[in-house]
Structure 1
Amino acid sequence: MVIVGVIALCLVLAVLAFLLPRLSRHPQNGAQRSLAAGSRAGSKAPGFLGRLLSKPFRSSSRAVGRSGSAGRRARRHMPF
């Protein structure tokens, strides 16, 4: 369920970044900020468990950042 939510968020951010590149920065930063908070909370567990709990949040944050930048990059290459 969480994976579907992250995928949906990435799709929405990519479309928003394509249509409104400047206005997509704030939602992208907000999503990355909330995922970073989850990563920090998960990393407080000791040892291997901390790395295991924080990894999904780190990779989701990276995916959100990449989808936003990909939408802006695609917009930049359009002829209009």
Structure 2
Amino acid sequence: MIVVGIVAVCVVLAVLAFFVPKLSRHPERGTQRTLGLGSRAGSKAPGPLGRLFSKPFRSSSKAVGRSGSAGRRARWNMPF
């Protein structure tokens, strides 16, 4: 269920970054900040559980950053 939500957020950010590149930074940073909080909370578990609990949040944050930058990069590569 969470995977579907992250995929939806990535798609929305990519589309937003393509059509309005400068205005896409704020939602991207807000999403990454929220995922960072989850990662930090998960990492407080002891030992290997901390890495296991924080990993989905870290990889989701990377995906959000990549989708936003890919949308902006595609926009700047367009001929118009």
| TM band (smaller chain) | over 0.9
Over the matched positions of the two proteins, sequence identity in percent amounts to 75
Q: Which amino acid aligns with 1:50?
A: G
| Superposed CA RMSD | 0.2
Q: Give the Cα–Cα distance (whole angstroms) in 1 for the partners of residues 53 and 29 of structure 2.
A: 22
Q: Give the Cα–Cα distance (whole angstroms) in 1 for the partners of residues 69 and 47 of structure 2.
A: 33
Runs of at least 5 residues in structure 1 that lack an aligned partner in the other structure? none
Encode CA deviations 1:23-58: one digit per residue, 9 max, x unaligned: 000000000000000000000001100000000000
- Residue of structure 2 equivalent to 1:70: 70
- Residue of structure 2 equivalent to 1:36: 36
- Residue of structure 2 equivalent to 1:48: 48
1:2-21 map, 5 Å? 2-21=2-21
Q: Give the length in aligned residue pairs.
A: 80
Runs of 4+ in 1 over 6 A off after TM superposition: none
TM-score normalised according to structure 1 size: 1.00
Helix, strand or coil at the partner of 1:9: helix
Q: Give the Cα–Cα distance (whole angstroms) in 2 for the partners of residues 45 and 34 of structure 1.
A: 18
Compute the displacement of 1:15 (Å): 0.1
